[in-house]
Structure 1
Amino acid sequence: MAMLENRTTPSGELDSGYAWWRLVLTLVLGTVACVGNWSVVVLLPTLEIEFGTVRGGASLPYTGTMLGFAVGGVVMGRLADRVGIVLPVMIGAFLLCVGYVMAALTTNIWQFAVLSAVIGLGSAAGFAPLISDLSHWFRKHRALAVAFAASGSYLSGAVWPLIIEHFQATHGWRSTLIGIGLFVPLVMVPTGLLLRRRLQSTTYAQAEAVTEAARNELGLKPNVLQAILVVAGFACCMAMSMPQVHIVAYCGDLGYGVAVGTQIIALMLGLGVISRLASGAFADRIGAAPMLIVGSSMQALALLLYLFFNSQSSLYVISGLFGLFQGGIVPMYAVIIRQYLPPREAGVRISLVLMATVLGMACGGLAAGYIFDATGSYRLAFLHGFLWNCVNLVLVAWLMLWPKLGRRKWEAMTA
């Protein structure tokens, strides 16, 4: 019962047994709450038929979900900085319940898109705020812990699409949404209440001293680093969105069926979990920025492979590789923020960067839908994603080189 008490914790408990138990609870919450990110991906072909719209129109609910997810992440991240993680989790559970039940009653694509934004707001509680909260409980294994927290989203993508497809086929999509809306708060509310324990203020003060020293060594002002990470995050997820958002519809267009597409996205995201955990473990050894370069480079390679191969077997292989390559990218932004930026602002700063990644997913998913409508093919959509990936690579490479380049420039100016 001691872990249920709302009390402070000495800094000596960082990386402790309780911290790892908190990690498990965070992973459960993320897996359940992030259902909103993936349900509409499975439903995209159904919505296209149900509401009599084109592919671009059927992509609107996904865009609404991502916009709600982006805004909700910043708002709830700021709330978590001030009052802790429990209240954001409770609000998220309520919004998911209301959003899913009401979405089941919609009669047109615009109503569904608006309620998808409500669902996105609720799902936001299971991502950036949880990542920020957990990062404060680890020092030595912070990258691995952040990767675990971020894996809830991908584990959700590995599990929920299969569940949703099954119940959609047997009970219809409307009943499936109502079931999700009733199930989610039953898990989130009691699990969230287990996270009431808080760190004491001296722990934050110690962390601030460490980040300030690292920031001085980097040689970039906090808001400049923030802006670079925001643009880099947006670019990488513009690239990432094409396979994640449209692979189910793509498989349907190729004649393989929605069920095959659902299996492929589950495989992609399941391997993405492995990628995130492995990336976290390596980042604790080699640093987050080098790990970010590796993941972004490999994601670009996978996007190129989609341009040349589209058989059913090759899509399984390429999508699996895509999951392994890109899964560790997003958590690295959070690790970089915790390394260089003030810890008491971690919730809102991590949420701002992850908001950019979510907006990249939203805009990229919508753009791919309209590119398909204009060309009748996803080929240019994959190329579009690859070019955005190149933007990300340039920014991250510059960020890695800046400490050396900046120091040389300063030495040349003062010589």
Structure 2
Amino acid sequence: MTIQSTLAPRSIFHGWFVVAAAFTVMFVGFGSAYTFSAFLEPLQRDFGASRGSTSLVFSIAGFLYFALGVISGPLADRLGSRPLAVVGMVVAAIGLAAASAAHSLVEVYLAYGLGVGLGVGCAFVPALGAVQRWFVRRRGFASGLAVSGIGLGTLAMPPLASLLIAAIGWRGAYLVLGAIVLVLGGGLSLLIENDPKDRGLGPDGDPPRELSGATNAGGASVREAVRSMRFVGLYLSCLVCSFGAFVPFVHLVPYARDHGVAASSAVVLLGMIGAGSTAGRFFLGALADRMGRDRSLIMVLIGMALAMAIWAIAQDVWTLAAFAFVYGVFYGGWVAVLPTVVMDYFGGRNVSGIIGILYTSVAFGTLIGPTAAGFVYDINHSYTLPILTSAAANIVAALVVVAILARSGTHAISIAKR
């Protein structure tokens, strides 16, 4: 008994294992999804499709993995996050494997679009919601660390996919990606647990007796949250922002190829978004804990708009690389800060369900934005209009958050503290 009590304080807080598991789920899930830019030209060529119709493959997947949170989030609040994360990784792996056997673009819509979309959607919000419950003081940092898996996945997976496509074709590449998702994502998601109280702990590893009110158990009901002006404002902000937020993930590589950049260098540009995104999730997530998370949300939205302005004038690989990295920093900050703002405003009791409903706004933007950009290109062979529209959308999204703060003050609503 004495030895156990002596060693226990030195053990690693299990919340960090939850963060590591969420990181892995996002690394392989979103990393595989964001390889699509490397597959766009081979799919377009083999199926004789337009750039807009081929882009719809990604948009279907993106719509589903954000929209499904409205179902997977509340289920995670009731059933636990682990089973949903495991099932999601298995479904995503099956979707990638099925895409390798597709004989038409419609079959790619069904296999990749539905498989990856449903799989990542099943795992994403539950894993992210679980992380929020394990931390209070370091929530911004922990959330940023978890979602940095998306950034590193975007950095590592597209170049890997490009190498695989060159070596074994796009069909073989999808098979390998499916195996990676199954083994790494499915395996590590077993470490996810829903709540520290199940281990007799409080957030941040504090013993329950030391919490003194710093608890994640209370908060708004889903009905209370979604009827509040803060939620309505966040929803509108995310909806407007997401129309352009994912355009670079689909169209940066073909844009670079159109401007004479070699295929190998063009794929690295997508990795630069991942590198910047990783930095943004680490540093802006931690910075948000100090300067205020809602104010940080305004900052990252404005930063995304300014980065889009760089893209609008970029003509060579170095300027495109600068855009990719800067955009990645602020995009990563957006992904890291947003769920922490939700937790601050509405508490932890139904955080997964509330995040899931909020992300339906991102789903609609993702469905429309990249596909619309592709069809605009098909019409006038230029990305200028979609890029400038994306920049304007981010400015509008930032102004919406400013309006939220002006209406309700800068502190979290009291219901989140109950």
Q: Structure 1 length normalisation: TM-score?
A: 0.87
- The one-letter amino acid of 2:287's match is F
Return the match for 2:253 from 248, 254, 268: 248
Aligned counterpart, 2:174: 177
Determine if contact 1:372/1:378 at 8 Å carries over to the other structure. Answer: yes
In the other structure, the counterpart of 1:160 is 157
Residue 374 of structure 1 deviates from its aligned partner by 1.7
Query: Structure 1, unaligned stretches of length 5 or more?
Result: 1-12, 213-218, 407-415
Partners of 1:318 and 1:184 in 2: CA distance:
29
The corresponding residue for 2:210 is: none
Counterpart code for 2:298 = I
SS of structure 1 residue aligned to 2:49: coil
1:277-316 superposed matches below 5 A: 277-316=282-321
2:331 to 326, 348, 359: 326
DSSP-derived class of the 2:135 partner: coil
**Cα deviations by residue, 1:310-347 (Å, 9 ceiling, x for unpaired):** 12221111211211232201222211111121422111
Q: Report deviation, 1:271.
A: 1.2
Q: Structure 1, residues 35-91: CA drift from partner, whole Å, max 9, x if none?
A: 342132221111111110111011010111112212332222222111111111121
The residue that corresponds to 1:127 in the other structure is: 124
What is the aligned partner in structure 2 of residue 74 from structure 1? 70
Partner of 2:79: 83
Give me the whole-angstrom Cα distance separating, in 1, the residues matched to 2:100 and 2:217.
50
Distance in 2 (alpha carbons) for counterparts of 1:72 and 1:317: 33
Deviation at 1:211, TM superposition (A): 4.7
Deviation at 1:189, TM superposition (A): 2.8
Unaligned runs of 5+ in 2: 1-8, 204-212, 412-418
Q: Does structure 1 retain, via aligned residues, the 8 Å contact 2:67–2:363?
A: no
Once the two structures are TM-superposed, the CA of residue 244 in structure 1 deviates from its matched residue by 2.2
Structure 1 residue aligned with 2:192, among 195, 199, 218? 195
The answer to whether the aligner puts 1:232 opposite 2:229 as a matched pair is no
CA distance in 2, matches of 1:310, 1:287: 37
Cα 1:75–1:211, aligned 2, differ >3 Å: closer, same or farther? closer
Cα distance 1:58–1:18, how it changes in 2: closer, same or farther (>3 A)? same
Pick aligned residue for 1:151 from 148, 151, 154: 148
Which position in structure 1 is the counterpart of 2:381? 376
* Aligned residues with identical type, % of pairs: 22
Picking from 19, 22, 27, the partner of 1:23 is 19
Using a 3 Å threshold, how does the CA distance of structure 1 residues 89 and 325 change in structure 2: closer, same or farther? closer
Q: Is contact 1:66–1:117 with CA below 8 Å preserved after alignment?
A: no
Rounded to whole Å, the distance in 2 between the matches of 1:79 and 1:207 is 21
1:299–1:326 CA contact under 8 A, matched in 2: yes
Q: Give the deviation of 1:196 after TM superposition.
A: 4.3
Matched, 1:265 2:270: yes
Cα displacement string for residues 278-313 of structure 1 (whole angstroms, at most 9, x for unaligned residues): 111111111111101111111111111222221222
Equivalent residue for 1:34, pick from 11, 19, 30? 30
What corresponds to 1:207 in structure 2?
215
Distance (whole Å) between structure 2 residues aligned to residue 337 and residue 303 of structure 1:
26
- The aligned length equals 388
Task: Measure, in 1, the Cα distance between the counterparts of 2:348 and 2:100.
Answer: 40
Name the aligned partner's letter for residue 334 of structure 2.
I
1:112 to 103, 108, 111: 108
The separation in 2 between residues aligned to 1:88 and 1:279, in whole angstroms, is: 29
- For residues 137-175 of structure 1, the C-alpha deviation after alignment (integer angstroms, 9 at most, x for no partner) is 001001111112222222211111011100000000001
Q: CA RMSD in A?
A: 2.6
Does the alignment pair 1:335 with 2:343?
Answer: no
Structure 1 CA distance for aligned equivalents of residues 217 and 71 of structure 2: 26
